[in-house]
Amino acid sequence: MTEQIDKALAREYEAGFVSDVESETFEPGLDENVIRRISEMKGEPEWMLEWRLSAFREWLEMEEPEWALVDYPKIDFQSISYYSAPKSMKDKPKSLDEVDPELLRTYEKLGIPLIEQQMLAGIAVDAVFDSVSVVTTFREKLEEAGVIFCPISEALHKYPDLVKKYIGSVVPKKDNYYAALNCAVFTDGSFVYIPKGTRCPMELSTYFRINEQNTGQFERTLIIADEGSHVSYLEGCTAPQRDENQLHAAVVELVAMDNAEIKYSTVQNWYPGDENGKGGIYNFVTKRGICHTNAKISWTQVETGSSVTWKYPSCILKGDNSVGEFYSVALTRGRQQADTGTKMIHIGKNTKSTIISKGISAGRSNNSYRGLVRMNPGAEGARNFTQCDSLLIGDQCGAHTFPYVESRNPSAIIEHEATTSKVSDEQMFLCRQRGLDPEKAVSMIVNGFCKEVFKELPMEFAVEAGKLLEISLEGSVG
Amino acid sequence: MSNTNSLLTIKDLHASVEEKQIIKGLDLDIKPGEVHAIMGPNGAGKSTLGYVLSGRDSYSVDSGSVTLDGEDLLEMETEDRARAGLFLAFQYPVEIPGVSNLEFLKASVDAQRQARGEEAITSADFLKEAKAACKQVNLPVAFLKRGVNEGFSGGEKKRNELMQMLLLKPKLCILDETDSGLDIDALQIVAEGVNSQRSADRSFIVVTHYQRLLDYIKPDFVHVLSDGKIVKSGDASLALELEAQGYSWLQKEPVEDELEG
């Protein structure tokens, strides 16, 4: 049985190809000069450079965190290149016709067609390739609704006041080691602004692709939903299959003004490394949103990739009656390690949060849920419900749960439920006795386990996430 | 050579679980359309026989042969045996949380049809069939949306097994103590379901401890299994005899803890 599962898990990583694109890449190394060059390449305003440099100086004083249940060799930050962009992007193509066809082909291969006729209906895509945004689709249509959706490097030119006002407002520069590093060296990412009372007419999506070797990817996303607005945002990521580890340290900040709603979904499929843990992406990400009065932020993540994941999408429930949600599926196999969860900080009265976390461990992987629920003294009548379920496949993997609860308000109600289960021999036998092959059986059982989270994903993504798990589990059965 | 028109032929089967031999030289021949009851005391190997025939991991065949429709059954993977028409109704059906009954049944039917080279059934047609099957086993249609066996009562689980049988239309059904834990009404519903499926090209092995079930499902043959072997075979009247006399008179060595028939 275990043998079959391992076999089913030994999948091909379908996004593991390398695109043949001529790139302009910085020499490895990190100092103030590198940061000045990044800022110069982007033609940034002076204040941005100063902001970066102050973050860098903070970072130099900080220690790499070691509290997570993950184990990896120390990262040599001087051996990483901090900027890489296709040469063809240097002249900033004005239209799709001017974009290098190889870049368009890359996204097409990944199932993200950027060409007008084939674009996914109802989804606007910002395609980020290494350190630059290649294309953002449906921009005119969004502009008609007053929605701004563009690369953050472009927003710095066009909407500097908005960026200046909100960047670092949710995740401060020295929030943590990787966030500080990101502030210093971030290259691109998406910027979204939804005006007051506007329901964004389509799903917004950013697709991140790492291509170049030895580069780190440091993207930064900033989403501002003004009063009474609504937006659903999707994020996907892949990288080529390589023997060396690569670092991805992103920062995402969400601002939901009064009565606004942001739904943020991630399907993370960075290269996970091979069976023996060689190669793969280090995914060290800081994601946080702030909710003002009656606002709602909902994080949904499906994490199947990366060799090491360190990620806690969080909500600061500042406004009264605001709502935070976190729905997560994290699958680890082979030698993958994931330490992921959320933080729900209840500040306002009658704030509500829901946490549903589903961890699936297979192979020799380690999968941890780490979550904080904090009820501040002013969080009168606040409520939290947390459910953490772990599913073990085989007998060589680990599942861990680290819930932290801090309640400083006696009227707050906190509920926590946790379960651990295995894909049992009986379940496998029942499925196979009805004619299902072992791979289908495992993926069905795992999909059933994740159902509560999948139903939170936008429809196109729910299908993709289900398929992703199927691919991830292929050959995992025994 | 076994009879060429046999559906299932078991010859001198020896099988073990965890290195302990449970089946010790079993012979059985079943023709299409026949209903065979296998009775016997606890620990005789009744459930083991069902698991060995359906290919459960950790049950190993030491010697002997089994053919289904002339094909070597023991060479086949578990799922291939199911696709060849072998169905096991479980004594204790397991739960699969979050996977709806409908999804599970459709996937099973699809896998079996695909293996036989048949066209996939449309979701609408399948739903129609599934609803009819629910009705036949007296389960509310809402059960199709619920997780497989999730929170079902014992009787509901058994009826759910029967519903799967109705949809999969197997050639050989092995009912493993389907009567256990059922009250008389539920027993009748299950028996009626089974009887409605009796046909010239479908055979049954009815494994049971009690004669009671055989009042409703009339077997063509009754076999007594004791210590891994069939020690006596007869027609339906044998079951009544067992009911009156218990199993001990058939066993080589009397069982201390006597079980009533």
Question: The dihedral of CA B85, B88, B93, B96: what is its sign?
Answer: negative
Q: Is the pLDDT of residue A111 over 50?
A: yes
A461 pLDDT band, cuts 50/70/90, is low
For the beta carbon of residue B193, count every other beta carbon within 10 angstroms: 22
- Region A213-235: mean pLDDT is 91
Answer whether A395's CB lies under 8 Å from A364's CB. Answer: no
Q: Is the pLDDT of residue B256 over 50?
A: no
Neighboring chain A residues of B169 at a CB cutoff of 8 Å: none
Note the residue count of chain B. Answer: 261
pLDDT in tens, B203-226: 999 998 888 888 899 999 999 998
What is the average pLDDT value for chain B, to the nearest integer? 88
Q: Which alpha helices (DSSP H) does A392-476 contain, by range?
A: 425-433, 438-454, 459-473
Cα–Cα distance measured from residue A183 to residue A318, given in angstroms and rounded to the nearest whole number: 24
Of B54, B98, B107, the CB nearest to A440: B107
For the beta carbon of residue B151, count every other beta carbon within 10 angstroms: 9
For the beta carbon of residue A98, count every other beta carbon within 10 angstroms: 11
Neighboring chain B residues of A445 at a CB cutoff of 8 Å: 96, 99
pLDDT in tens, B160-195: 999 999 999 999 999 998 888 888 888 888 888 889
B255 pLDDT band, cuts 50/70/90, is very low
Of A424, A427, A432, the CB nearest to B78: A432
Cα–Cα distance measured from residue A310 to residue B36, given in angstroms and rounded to the nearest whole number: 60
A397 pLDDT band, cuts 50/70/90, is confident
Q: Please indicate whether, in this complex, the C-beta atoms of B103 and A424 are within 8 angstroms of each other.
A: no
Cα–Cα distance measured from residue A107 to residue B196, given in angstroms and rounded to the nearest whole number: 56
Q: Please indicate whether, in this complex, the C-beta atoms of B57 and A434 are within 8 angstroms of each other.
A: no
A326 pLDDT band, cuts 50/70/90, is very high
Distance of CA B99 to the CA centre of its chain: 23
Closest CA–CA distance from residue A423 to any residue of chain B (Å): 9
Q: Please indicate whether, in this complex, the C-beta atoms of A435 and B111 are within 8 angstroms of each other.
A: yes
B250 pLDDT band, cuts 50/70/90, is low
Closest CA–CA distance from residue A432 to any residue of chain B (Å): 5
Neighboring chain B residues of A429 at a CB cutoff of 8 Å: 56-57, 78
Q: Please indicate whether, in this complex, the C-beta atoms of B83 and A430 are within 8 angstroms of each other.
A: no
CA dihedral B105, B109, B115, B118 (to 10 degrees): -160
Closest CA–CA distance from residue A83 to any residue of chain B (Å): 45
Distance of CA A17 to the CA centre of its chain: 21
Q: Is the pLDDT of residue A134 over 80?
A: no
For chain B, which residues lie within 8 Å of any Cβ of chain A, measuring from their own Cβ?
54-58, 77-79, 81-83, 87-88, 90, 93-94, 96-99, 103-104, 107-108, 111-112, 115, 147-148, 164, 168
Q: Please indicate whether, in this complex, the C-beta atoms of B87 and A433 are within 8 angstroms of each other.
A: yes
Q: What is the DSSP letter of A455?
A: T
Strand partners, A367: A338, A399
Structural domains present in chain B? 8-93+171-257 (3.40.50.300)
For chain A, which residues lie within 8 Å of any Cβ of chain B, measuring from their own Cβ?
1, 424-438, 440, 444-445, 447-452
Cα–Cα distance measured from residue B15 to residue A2, given in angstroms and rounded to the nearest whole number: 23
Cα–Cα distance measured from residue A394 to residue A56, given in angstroms and rounded to the nearest whole number: 44
3-state secondary structure of A282: strand
Closest CA–CA distance from residue A426 to any residue of chain B (Å): 6
Closest by Cα among B227, B174, B168 to B52: B174
What is the average pLDDT value for chain A, to the nearest integer? 86
Q: Please indicate whether, in this complex, the C-beta atoms of A449 and B97 are within 8 angstroms of each other.
A: yes
3-state secondary structure of B142: helix
Q: What is the pLDDT of residue A327?
A: 93
Of A435, A440, A448, the CB nearest to B97: A448
Which residue is closest to B147 within chain A, CA to CA?
A448
Q: What is the pLDDT of residue A129?
A: 78
Query: Token pair of B218, please?
Result: 């009339």
Q: Is the pLDDT of residue B253 over 70?
A: no
Of the candidate ranges A77-86, A123-132, A324-333, B83-92, the one whose mean pLDDT is the lowest: A123-132
Q: Give the type of residue at A335.
A: R
Answer whether A236's CB lies under 8 Å from A205's CB. Answer: yes
- Region B45-73: mean pLDDT is 93
Closest by Cα among A277, A362, A276, A359 to A311: A359
Of the candidate ranges A73-77, B230-234, B243-247, the one whose mean pLDDT is the lowest: B243-247
Answer whether A428's CB lies under 8 Å from A7's CB. Answer: no
Q: What is the pLDDT of residue B254?
A: 46
Of the candidate ranges A21-25, A178-182, A354-358, the one whose mean pLDDT is the lowest: A21-25
Cα–Cα distance measured from residue A333 to residue A365, given in angstroms and rounded to the nearest whole number: 5
Using only C-alpha atoms, chain A has a radius of gyration, in whole angstroms, of 22
A112 pLDDT band, cuts 50/70/90, is confident
Considering only residues B122 and A214, tell me which one the structure prediction assigns the higher pLDDT. Answer: B122
Query: Token pair of A88, please?
Result: 């063809």
pLDDT in tens, A165-209: 999 999 999 999 999 999 999 988 899 999 999 999 988 888 887
Q: Is the pLDDT of residue A349 over 90?
A: yes
- Region A275-284: mean pLDDT is 84
- Region B226-240: mean pLDDT is 88
CA distances from A6 to A2, A324, A396 (A): 6, 37, 10
Strand partners, A119: none
Q: Give the type of residue at A87.
A: K
Q: What is the pLDDT of residue A472?
A: 62
Using only C-alpha atoms, chain B has a radius of gyration, in whole angstroms, of 18
Distance of CA B8 to the CA centre of its chain: 13
Considering only residues A89 and A399, tell me which one the structure prediction assigns the higher pLDDT. Answer: A399
Neighboring chain B residues of A430 at a CB cutoff of 8 Å: 90, 93-94, 96, 148
Q: Please indicate whether, in this complex, the C-beta atoms of A435 and B168 are within 8 angstroms of each other.
A: yes
Closest CA–CA distance from residue B60 to any residue of chain A (Å): 14
Cα–Cα distance measured from residue A285 to residue A219, given in angstroms and rounded to the nearest whole number: 10
Cα–Cα distance measured from residue A183 to residue A173, given in angstroms and rounded to the nearest whole number: 6
Considering only residues A167 and A469, tell me which one the structure prediction assigns the higher pLDDT. Answer: A167
| DSSP code per residue over A78-110 | GGSB--EEEGGGTT--SSGGGS-HHHHHHHHHT
Q: What is the pLDDT of residue B1?
A: 44
Q: Read off the pTM.
A: 0.83
Distance of CA A337 to the CA centre of its chain: 16
Q: Please indicate whether, in this complex, the C-beta atoms of B98 and A433 are within 8 angstroms of each other.
A: no
Of the candidate ranges A6-15, A256-265, A328-337, B53-62, the one whose mean pLDDT is the lowest: A6-15
- Region A237-263: mean pLDDT is 88
Closest by Cα among A103, A110, A108 to A89: A103
pLDDT in tens, A420-450: 888 888 999 999 999 999 888 988 898 888 8
Q: Is B216 exposed, middle or buried (0-12, 13-18, 19+ CB in 10 A)?
A: middle
Q: Give the type of residue at B116.
A: R
Answer whether B60's CB lies under 8 Å from B51's CB. Answer: no
- Give the number of beta-carbon pairs within 8 Å between A and B: 76
Q: Is the pLDDT of residue A464 over 90?
A: no
Neighboring chain B residues of A435 at a CB cutoff of 8 Å: 79, 82-83, 108, 111-112, 115, 168
pLDDT in tens, A36-55: 999 998 899 999 999 999 99
Neighboring chain A residues of B82 at a CB cutoff of 8 Å: 432-435
Q: Please indicate whether, in this complex, the C-beta atoms of B78 and A433 are within 8 angstroms of each other.
A: yes
Cα–Cα distance measured from residue B190 to residue B159, given in angstroms and rounded to the nearest whole number: 6
pLDDT in tens, B11-43: 999 999 988 999 999 999 999 999 999 998 888
Q: What is the pLDDT of residue A433?
A: 97
Which residue is closest to B169 within chain A, CA to CA?
A434
Q: Please indicate whether, in this complex, the C-beta atoms of B82 and A434 are within 8 angstroms of each other.
A: yes
